[in-house]
Structure 1
Amino acid sequence: MGSPDSGNISPSEAGETADHGARLAALRAELARREVQGFLIPRADEHQGEYVPASAQRLEWLTGFSGSAGTAAVLPETAAVFIDGRYTLQVRNEVDVDLFTPRHLTEEPLSAWLAEGLKPGQRLAYDPWLHTEDQVRRLEKTLAAAEAEAVALSDNPLDAVWHDRPAVPQAEIRAHDLSYAGRESADKREGLGKALTKQGVAAAVITLPDSIAWLLNVRGGDVERSPLPLSFSVLHADGAVEWFVDAAKVSDGLAQHLGNAVSIQAPQRLGEALDRLGVQGAKVLADPATAARWIFDRLRAAGAAIEQGADPCQLPKACKNETELAGTRAAHKRDGAALSRFLHWLDSAVAQGQAVTEMAAADRLAAFRGEAGDLRDLSFDTIAGSGPNGAIVHYRVSPQSDRQLAQGELFLCDSGAQYPDGTTDVTRTVAIGTPDKEMCARFTLVLKGHIALGAARFPEGTSGSQLDSLARYALWQNGLDYDHGTGHGVGSYLNVHEGPQRISKMPNSVALQPGMIVSNEPGYYKTGAYGIRIENLVAVTESSRAAGEERAMLAFETLTLAPIDRRLIVPAMLTADEIDWVDAYHARVRAEIGPQLDGEARVWLEQATAPLQAG
């Protein structure tokens, strides 16, 4: 084994805590060699997406934190991990707090920590591929106030000490058939090209893998749980695309699928393409919220006129066409049958006194989905949290944390799947044995919020942040709340988390539009005891205008089809309209899922979806 100064630290040396300590020491030694006093390690790759391949899991390698969002900051004597409210419990379970201080990124922000820890004249380094233009601008402002300097490095110092770093992924890229996509790639490219021309923009740099997958009607497998090909592209105003991707990943026949207007080039030639745009004096669109600082630095150095604006693919990608909506409805019917079979299996196993663990439950659910047909992958690692583990919002079961589902507890199962015609994401919280009164009361409060949002009608132009309080109101009236967003966008056989729309306390100016798919997932979490979340996916639809109504209205169509645990509902806490909503939803589940089941599972579904008035 090498010493920290040598930069060769084996993952197998000593214990987990000692290993992360050695990795941190090795990184500090490398930073000292480069004459910088600090370094930022985000959970990000060059594409700034949520889905990161093993080769870019630098944050987890250094700290042990495996959440889907976070940043570590390392200074000579101190280090910290910054996470949001979803991960306040998880970070302490995974990270050695003697090495890295956990901090809530809004209550204890990175800017305050850096202002306190950096001295005037010190240099904080960052990898310009792993931070967006917006992020670096905020960093530079923070450091200027501290009289410190932000330094962009040409290569990542952590990679220099991560000697067994996994290889960059090389999954095959395939065509996404028109029967699923609903719109030809050429039509998408030409439409966006005309929009660029109208803006006076010659080209747009596209860096988000899901945007490129949507634009070119392709799918890949470079990351787990989402069919993404990692690549970059430049979309020109005439609809032509330069696609920077390893040719070894391109499947046979894909070039024909793409057509002559799409040229495949080596990833290393992206810089040359940006230079050419600069030489031409072109006006180039790049998204400061999603594109790496490296892109902006290269364009500026080449003399390009940069138009800062949103990724042009995001909004049209979010507004699903009729083919995509029909596909996701079909996917949810298959998925609902698989989930109902699982819930029946779970109820039967518990009733028979079988020992069921979280991992066993997650594996069984995955098996049911596999039997449903057309399964490509899960859409994320199943969150199977029993009892206190359910209170960890983004809990990931492991052999170390796995526990048996116990009588008198709640079991929170958040899961989803990737099918070629749609992406699913559903959470059900179920009682194991007999729940107590508090559990039922708080479940019903969450249900009231779920119904309020799902049944909402709202004017055109309304954003998700304007609707968020509908889902929280019943909880707020009882002094309760939850620390995550209420809804996120969902892709069409793409990312399970998709922008630009969302339903959240955080301000968001993007109006909800017909065709957008969002989740409806209010929750409640009692630390050390249990968690509750009820999640359906919904599609934004046009609402018919009644006599006397003056404005065009929108509404939600519920896509998810699976029973909500009646044992946890307190009917006396619901209004007549809310009871009608539950009964109507369960009648629809019974009608659409029932024919896919048989035997005992069909009988179970009839009972699980019986009207609330039936007791």
Structure 2
Amino acid sequence: MSPATNTTDRVQKLRALMQSPEYNVTAFVIPSEDAHQSEYVAECDERRAYISGFTGSAGLAVVSLESAALFTDGRYFLQASQQLDSNWTLMKSGLPEVPTWQEYLVKNLPAGSRIGIDPLVFTATDAKKLETDLAKVGSSLIPTANLVDLVWEGRPARPASKLKILSTKTTGRTHTEKIQQLRRDLEKKSVAGFVVSGLDEIAWLFNLRGSDVHCNPVFFSYAVVTPSYVNLYLQEKSVSQEARDHLGSDVVIKPYETIFDDLRAISSTLQANKQKFLLGSRTNLAMAVALGKDNVVEARSPVTDAKAIKNETELEGMRQCHLRDSAALINFFAWLEEQLANGTGLDEADAAERLEQFRAEQAGFVGLSFDTISSTGPNGAIIHYKPEKPSAARINPDLVYLCDSGGQYIDGTTDVTRTLHFGTPTAHEKRCFTRVLQGHISIDTAVFPDGTSGYLLDILARRALWSDGLDFRHGTGHGVGAFLNVHEGPHGCGTRIAYNDIPLVPGMTLTNEPGYYEDGKFGIRIENIMLVRKVDTPNNFGGRGYYGFEHVTLVPMQIKLIDRSLLTHLEVEWINAYHAECLEKVSPFLAKDSPGLKWLQREAVSI
């Protein structure tokens, strides 16, 4: 993890620009997202990280003429406290007495303030609500150019990777079939067309992948879909003849930068015909302005919903890539244990690099799905820790080791966390680990009626922890793409009330990752990917139908970290059955007499 950056010069230059007659704003707001509202962004769009020095994936910065504040959630409290310099105040979102960033703009800045934003990186929905709140104190929202871009010396160029075409052997449906389904959805909504702005949505819709964003197989693009035409806006360097042939004559390829000119042209037609265009609720404000705010309807993207429910081909791809990925992780743990036993001096970054090499040996491997979290002792308490040379700590076999990692494969995406101890864990560490494991088992074995959301299931992951007065400050689960982004909505499992709007249905993927973290000491997390499936129950109250989960991650839980005295009989049965499944299904992917196979045979036993 990178240390604190001296941001004095950057902040001073930004304030000078804010005070210039051309902009004249009291404050400038810098979110993490790009023009596509991506969670993970290309280097050229890491504006919040550049201005603040905080490199976590989630957060928002507000720079006023007098102060600078960084808002982030509980996953990043510790990391942000270490990366922010004295120019910044850390606002720990969600804690009592800590305002939201919107409240901060209204209550902490002078009445009548002019709040600058880049309309490309703000959603129309957020901007509308913020305008209303600011008006109560006489303040106003001022769309401007992105002022961080103007002071960013050496800003990287926008990447333009060559497009990769996916076969229906891995997607299960052609892009033509997906577009036909989208058009049927648009007809039901009585709209004239739809702007697709999410990068993963476009990649999924057209059965294409790229590498413009680190660890995310996406490419910079927009799309417009109507009953009569489809426009796909791409960077010229990305397009090959193979891609043109794949898309066919029904998809018109246009330059990436021309989308806004086309939307302005569409605007006049919509107004004349008294029609509406659909914009996803995460579409940027600049698009809503180009189309005309009175000409649009905002709703959750139908592509997001369709993408979240995997077809049988995609589900089988997830099963198969997880078998290979589990084998890679088992080989890594066996290797790491041997290196530490031999006294080899390994740091966290060395381990992360070796794990990537083990994954690269597996069929269909494309790259990592996120930067590996390889953390020893206190670094494990930094929930999204990234080991970097030369600051990476040497792995201490007498401390808890947490490894959260994943791979991108041609047939799916993986995300798995295991917590290990290579020495003798304390009774407290074992008790904490076991409470986390009990929460993991409770989610894995849940059976629930149709209409149930991840918001309602979240308590299952925390119940055992709560019994000891413990908890964790992150979600219990998120959706995962099929050879796409490792974080995928709209569903999830956690305390965010928005998750209650999205019931879990068969075909969805969901991680199961409760944890516990003690700052300065250790971190514990156990994570599998699961598929939502139908479950046969003895009864069917209300005729609703009942669902459950199928786990596809198959890596043993370390027995030496389990306090068996805390477990129920059913929890013991689950661990024994899970270990038997790991042994049966992953052994064929490990070389005979290999360290990995021997490690699996030793660890995947009954307790």
Q: Same fold (TM over 0.5)?
A: yes
Query: 1:548: Cα distance to partner?
Result: 6.5
2:247 to 258, 262, 266: 258
Question: What is residue 105 of structure 1 aligned with on the other side?
Answer: 93
1:163 deviates by 2.7
Counterpart among 298, 311, 325 of residue 315 in structure 2: 325
| Percent of aligned pairs sharing the same letter | 39
Counterpart of 1:414 in structure 2 is: 404
In structure 2, the partner of 1:9 is none
Partner of 1:192: 182
Question: Does the 8 Å contact 1:192/1:237 carry over to 2?
Answer: no
Q: 2:192 aligns with which of 194, 202, 208?
A: 202
**Counterparts of 2:17 and 2:165, CA distance in 1:** 43
Helix, strand or coil at the partner of 2:302 = coil
Deviations 1:137-177 (A, max 9, x none): 23213322232111001x21111111311101111112111
1:63 pairs with 2:52: yes
Distance 1:182 1:325 in 2: 10
1:483 equivalent in alignment to 2:473: yes
The amino acid that maps onto 2:26 is: Q
Aligned equivalent of 2:211, options 214, 221, 230: 221
Distance 1:126-1:547 versus aligned 2 partners, 3 A rule? closer
Cα separation, 1, equivalents of 2:146 and 2:94: 27
Residue of structure 2 in register with 1:170 after alignment? 160
Q: Which position in structure 2 is the counterpart of 1:121?
A: 112
Determine helix, strand or coil for the equivalent of 1:225: coil
Tell me, yes or no, if the aligned pair for 2:413 and 2:484 is still in contact at 8 Å: yes
Cα distance in 2 for residues equivalent to 1:536 and 1:442: 18
**Structure 1 runs of 4+ with >3 Å offset:** 15-18, 547-551
Partners of 1:145 and 1:181 lie apart in 2 by: 50
Deviates more, 1:63-72 or 1:393-402: 393-402
Is this contact kept in 2: 1:120–1:146, CA < 8 A?
yes
1:116, distance to aligned residue in structure 2 (A):
3.4
Q: Of residues 521, 531, 534 in structure 1, which corresponds to 2:523?
A: 531
**Which residue of structure 2 lines up, in the alignment, with residue 442 of structure 1?**
432
CA deviation string 1:477-497 (max 9, x = no partner): 111100000000000000000
Tell me the amino acid that sits aligned with residue 54 of structure 2.
F
Structure 1 unmatched ranges of 5 or more: 1-14
Equivalent residue for 2:74, pick from 60, 85, 93: 85
Which sections of structure 2, spanning at least 5 residues, go unmatched?
A: none
Aligned counterpart, 1:5: none
Give how far 1:401 is off.
3.3
Aligned counterpart in structure 1 of residue 459 of structure 2, from 437, 451, 469: 469
The answer for the alignment partner of 1:36 in structure 2 is: 25
Question: 1:412 Cα shift?
Answer: 0.4
Aligned length: 591
Contact 2:54 2:80 in 1 (8 A): yes
Cα displacement string for residues 400-425 of structure 1 (whole angstroms, at most 9, x for unaligned residues): 43111223210000000000100000
Cα distance between partner residues in 1 of 2:600 and 2:188: 54
**How far did 1:276 drift?**
2.9
- 1:30-51: per-residue Cα shift (whole Å, max 9, x none)? 1111211110111111101112
- Within a 5 Å distance, the mapping from 1:492-503 to structure 2 comes to 492-503=482-493
TM-score relative to the length of structure 2: 0.95
The aligned residue for residue 279 of structure 2 is 286
Residue identity opposite 1:143 in structure 2:
L
Matches within 5 A, 1:264-413: 264-281=253-270, 282-288=275-281, 290-300=282-292, 305-413=295-403
1:293 is displaced (CA, Å) by: 0.7
CA shift digits 1:338-360 (9 cap, x unpaired): 00001111222222222221111
Displacement after TM superposition at 1:367 (Å): 0.8
Check conservation: 2:193, 2:277, Cα contact below 8 A: yes
User: Shift in Å at residue 115 of structure 1?
Assistant: 2.7
Distance in 1 separating the partners of 2:245 and 2:417: 41
Shift of 1:25: 0.2
Work out the CA distance in 2 between the residues paired with 1:252 and 1:433. Answer: 56
CA distance in 1: counterparts of 2:450 and 2:54, whole angstroms: 41
- For residues 389 and 603 of structure 1, the distance between their equivalents in structure 2, rounded to whole angstroms, comes to 29
Amino acid at match of 2:507: G
> Which amino acid letter does the alignment assign opposite residue 558 of structure 2?
D
- Aligned residue identity for 2:88: F
8 Å CA contact 2:4, 2:83 repeated in 1 = no
1:177–1:525: structure 2 CA closer, same or farther, 3 Å change rule?
same
CA contact (8 A) 1:247 1:264 kept: no
Alignment partner of 1:360: what SS? helix
Q: Which residue of 2 aligns with 1:23?
A: 10
Distance in 1 of aligned mates of 2:75 and 2:297: 34
- Alignment-mate amino acid for residue 279 of structure 2: A
Change (3 A) 1:159 1:551: closer
Post-superposition shift, 1:563? 1.2
Separation in 2, partners of 1:305, 1:113: 32
Q: State which drifts further: 492-501 or 144-153.
A: 144-153
Residue 73 of structure 1: which of 62, 84, 88 is its match? 62
Aligned pair partner of 2:571 in 557, 565, 578: 578
TM-score normalized with structure 1 length: 0.94
Q: Which residue of 2 aligns with 1:554?
A: 547
Cα offsets for 1:116-138 (capped at 9, x unmatched): 33222221100000111122123
Q: Does 1:606 align with 2:601?
A: yes
User: Structure 1 residues 227, 552: closer, same or farther in 2, change over 3 A?
Assistant: same
Q: Which amino acid aligns with 1:85?
A: G
**One-letter amino acid of the structure 1 residue matched with residue 599 of structure 2:** W
**CA distance in structure 1 between the aligned counterparts of 2:27 and 2:139, rounded to whole angstroms:** 11
CA RMSD between the two structures: 1.4
